[in-house]
Amino acid sequence: MKEITKSTRIGWIGTGVMGASMCDRIVSAGYQNVSIYTRTKSKATALIEKGCRWCSTPSEVTQNSDILFTIVGYPEDVEAVYFGKDGIFEGIQDHTLLIDMTTTRPSLAKKIYDAAVRKNASSIDAPVSGGDVGARNGGLSIMTGGLEDDITYAMPLLSIMGKNIVYQGVAGSGQHTKMCNQIAIAGTMIGVCESLLYAHKSGLDATTVLQSIGGGAAACWTLDNLAPRIIDRNFDPGFYVEHFVKDMEIALDACREMNISLPGLALVHQLYRAVMAQGHGRKGTQALSLALEGMSGM
């Protein structure tokens, strides 16, 4: 692969809550040859105004890319973008590096890798954690799987988006690591929401409570970033409830394949299904507090 320069042809597919900010960081870093595609063109308006080239299909993006990033919604979206009509593998060229940053099935990451190798190309699975805040400030944690040489090659671009970039192993390893991340978050979210509910019911000032517990053994990203939003009744998405439910279902499917039981994950998954049933699927994950408040008659 050629050395990455500011004129390297970069493709980007998916400009949602996180993808738009991540791509914007690439453009703002001075990369001048960026082609983009997203299902809803209006979501890419700001990037087009910054000079990104709009493409009408994933295949067209691929034809104009040496390195192609994807971050879309669901595994079926990944399947369509890569393997569907006018998809990435219809336009791929020799030595293109594909980097899927969607959280998806580890088996799908392996399928993409194998298909890329057959096309004399390569792929990395590189799901991220850090939400909208991390996407905007370049502070994402990026979990990578594939060939280590490919990750080293892509590091100039990955480091624009993330501060913690760790190689986990063969194709699919990044996705397995993201499942570990989501399992930990699931348990943390219910703890934070229950803590704030307890604080409210006991007559405490929740903001003052955070000043104490946020600096002790309970300190965590969720307390720092999402607990204040819950207190302010701000349920705007940094990461959609419906996407978190999707991630937990991927993890639970993998648990069944590995014959392991994670009852905490199963419980939080059911609570988030209740959040969706209440019509909050497009709110942020902190909306779990709404379901717990409802159970407590608030």
CA nearest neighbour of 81 among 97, 105, 102: 102
Residue 102 and residue 71 in contact, taking contact as beta carbons nearer than 8 Å: yes
DSSP letter, residue 33: -
Catalytic residue among 110, 111, 178, 283: 178
The C-alpha atoms of residue 229 and residue 71 are separated, in whole angstroms, by 25
Return the bridge partners of 69, or none: 12, 99
Q: What is the separation of C-alpha 87 from the centre of its chain, rounded to a whole number of angstroms?
A: 21
The C-alpha atoms of residue 166 and residue 265 are separated, in whole angstroms, by 24
- 178 has catalytic annotation: yes
Tokens, residue 247: 């991630």
Tokens, residue 25: 């960081």
Q: How far is CA 71 from CA 18, 79, 108, 194, in A?
A: 8, 12, 14, 32
Taking CA 218 as the corner, what is the angle to CA 216 and CA 222, rounded to the nearest 5 degrees?
Answer: 125
Residues designated as active site: 178
